[in-house]
Amino acid sequence: MVDLAASATGDLQLRNIRKEFGDFVAVDDLNLTIPKGSFFALLGPSGCGKTTTLRMIAGLEEPTSGTIAVGDTDITYSKPYRRPVNTVFQNYALFPHLTIFENVAFGLRRRGIKDVKEAVEKVLALVELGHLKDRKPGQLSGGQQQRIAVARAIVNRPALLLLDEPLGALDLKLRRQMQIELKWIQTEVGITFVHVTHDQEEAMTMADTIAVMNKGRIEQMGSPVDLYENPETVFVANFLGQSNLIKATVGTNSGAETSVDVQGARIILPTSRNRSAKSSVLVGIRPEKINIHAAGTSTGKNALHDGVVTDISFVGVSTQYQVEMPWKQELMVFEQNDGGAANIRKGDRVTLSWEPNFTFALDSED
Amino acid sequence: MAIAHVSPGTSTHVQPERSGRKVPYLLMLPGLLWLAIFFIYPLINLAETSTKTRATTQETGAFVQTYRFANYIDAFIEYQDQFLRSFMYAFLATVLALAISYPLAYAIAFKSGRYKNILLILVVAPFFTSFLLRTIAWKQILGAEGPVVYVLRTLHLIGPDTTITASSFAVVMGLTYNFLPFMTLPIYASLDRIDPRLLEASGDLYSNGLTTFRKVTVPLSMPGVVAGTLLTFIPAAGDYINAAILGNPTTKMIGNVIDSRFFRIVDYPTAASLSFTLMAAILFLVVVYIRRSGTDELV
């Protein structure tokens, strides 16, 4: 018998993975290559199939069709305990009857390793909880349990570490701290991390590559910056941060630049950022890219006039304006509080402007 | 009683939490009163009776207090066989009940799907009939014309004239059957409470099904096993109905002796001292058992 847990290494490859539960298709023809050593995030709303995908990689579910491989080793139908994969479960699933030391040693002992002390103490030192090794999981705080769950998995040196909403149960401050810590641990041990979350901030902070999933399919995959700056679908534009999406008609294409008509205003964008082949598109612009001015004082190339400020909220680092346009659509504008913002009040008539380079155009969803 | 105190004399201003703190005691009051009247008082009475001796008058049931602690020694020496037999039978019944209940509880907890509630009702169903009637029914089941004997005879496992009623076998069977739900339900409860993710985590950490069962399922079900064995062993050790109905004179348990000392021979001091000895012995065994099973924090 080949010990897969020790031998298989390399990129994780999912080929044509499909998973049905009765009539419901949870994962639909999924293709994914996760490079060895990367910190990869599967991001999507609940029910998008991300957890099912993770469970298939872990061996807790069997795909209806398709193959899963680590390097050259096919693991599609291998038992969970035969895979070079370990999981950090949601709510951690630490064994309540065992001490922290025995929890961490569990995987090593099952593989018949006699002398576990050194490996366990080393990994406990890595997560800075060596002093708690004789406690039971129930005596630890949420953040400590989380780190033990990571330690219990990485002590086995798997080719792949799966993290299922690992920070979901922690409060905001602790979550921020753990995001940085997990990223540091990943760099330290060099294991491929595959992380499932519905929290876009968590995915963007930790992962070097994100796959955005929706309805069982991957909408778009790329680096956090790439996904944020160049969304390819309406779903991605709205799921990662906020976007203003305005109906427009494509006008002239001068090679590098394309102009579109937004309610009579001419808006310019780089042709490469037009993701649609249709004549009717949605023009997108991120709220923080827009400048807000008193009516008629615009300087930018792209400008929309005659907006009325309907709401202003001050959120510390920025001020968020809600502006109603003549065609009754509300647009969001974020201005940094750097002292340069115009003295704009609720009810003021304003002009919105931005650089053409920040503009993108997408297929409308319907 | 301390419970009824409004406030200690020193405090002049009443804090709002004061009344709140008394609530738990007030809630305990009915239970405490019940225990005081129907448990503590009879217990003291029993203790007092246990050291009495028969009055010199010829009247039955007349005893005088002589603080004769030798009653205990006399009673124990005379009935040590029945003591030993009681614990043996109770032990055998507990082991059998555990062997039957664990797989049953496991199947109900993990494998029964939508039949879970029906199966649980079936486990409790025997309680709808009286304990006495169920035990008498077993006399029929194990009787010479009954199905068990028929099957065993057909298979030539017993001779044509052998019977299995009025034997220690029948008594242990009766005890096992009667206390089975007390074993099954606590084990089921602790198995059902196990987070399925713990079993997945075990599989993820290189355990196959059997190892997961040994290293995760069994340890986590120990509180149920301990509770179940205690709930079976304790009443079984003091039981007298099974031995009376399914046994013969050589299968008498200590409960039967106490019963006959109290109600037939009217020898209250011996019955009382036997009762105390039984209580002490059970308490001792239970403490040792809980200590050794290492689940005192879980029970």
Look up the CATH number of domain A242-362.
2.40.50.140
Distance from C-alpha of B108 to C-alpha of A18, rounded to nearest angstrom: 32
Q: Where are the domains of chain A?
A: 4-234, 242-362
Q: What is the mean pLDDT of residues B250-262?
A: 91
How many CB atoms are closer than 10 A to CB A283?
24
The length of chain A, given as a count of residues: 366
Q: Say whether A107 and B215 touch across the interface (CB within 8 A).
A: no
Judge if A4-234 and A242-362 fold alike in CATH terms: no
Q: How far is A75 from chain B (nearest CA, A)?
A: 14
Domain A4-234 classification at class level = alpha beta
Residue A340: predicted pLDDT:
62
- The helix/strand/coil state of A11 is coil
C-alpha torsion angle, residues B148, B154, B157, B163 (rounded to 10): 50
- The helix/strand/coil state of B77 is helix
Domain B71-293 fold is: MetI-like fold (1.10.3720)
Structure tokens at B141: 């089941």
Which class for B24: exposed (0-12), middle (13-18), buried (19 or more C-beta within 10 A)?
exposed
Residue A38: predicted pLDDT:
92
Distance from C-alpha of A256 to C-alpha of A240, rounded to nearest angstrom: 27
pLDDT in tens, B58-116: 666 688 888 888 889 999 999 999 999 999 999 999 999 999 999 999 999 999 889 99
Structure tokens at A107: 């995987």
A167 pLDDT band, cuts 50/70/90, is confident
Distance from C-alpha of A80 to C-alpha of B255, rounded to nearest angstrom: 54
Q: Say whether A91 and B203 touch across the interface (CB within 8 A).
A: no
Q: What is the mean pLDDT of residues A288-315?
A: 85
pLDDT in tens, A238-287: 999 899 999 999 988 888 889 999 988 889 999 989 888 888 999 999 99
Distance from C-alpha of A5 to C-alpha of B206, rounded to nearest angstrom: 9
B294 pLDDT band, cuts 50/70/90, is low
Mutate to test the interface with A, among B193, B199, B205 (most CBs of A within 10 A): B205
- Provide, as residue numbers in chain A, all residues whose Cβ is less than 8 Å from the Cβ of B211: 110
Is this complex's ipTM strictly greater than 0.95?
Answer: no
Distance from C-alpha of B215 to C-alpha of A105, rounded to nearest angstrom: 13
Distance from C-alpha of B270 to C-alpha of A238, rounded to nearest angstrom: 85
Which class for B102: exposed (0-12), middle (13-18), buried (19 or more C-beta within 10 A)?
buried
Conformational region of residue A222, where left means phi above 0, alpha means psi within -120 to 50, and beta covers everything else: left
pLDDT in tens, B157-202: 888 777 888 888 999 999 999 999 999 999 999 999 999 999 999 9
Mutate to test the interface with A, among B202, B206, B293, B298 (most CBs of A within 10 A): B206
Asked whether the beta carbons of A347 and A294 are under 8 A apart, the reply is no
Q: Does B11 touch chain A (CB under 8 A)?
A: no
Residue B6: predicted pLDDT:
45
Distance from C-alpha of A194 to C-alpha of B65, rounded to nearest angstrom: 80
Enter the pTM of the model.
0.79
pLDDT in tens, B259-282: 998 888 888 899 999 999 999 999
Asked whether the beta carbons of B238 and B254 are under 8 A apart, the reply is yes
Q: Say whether A95 and B202 touch across the interface (CB within 8 A).
A: yes
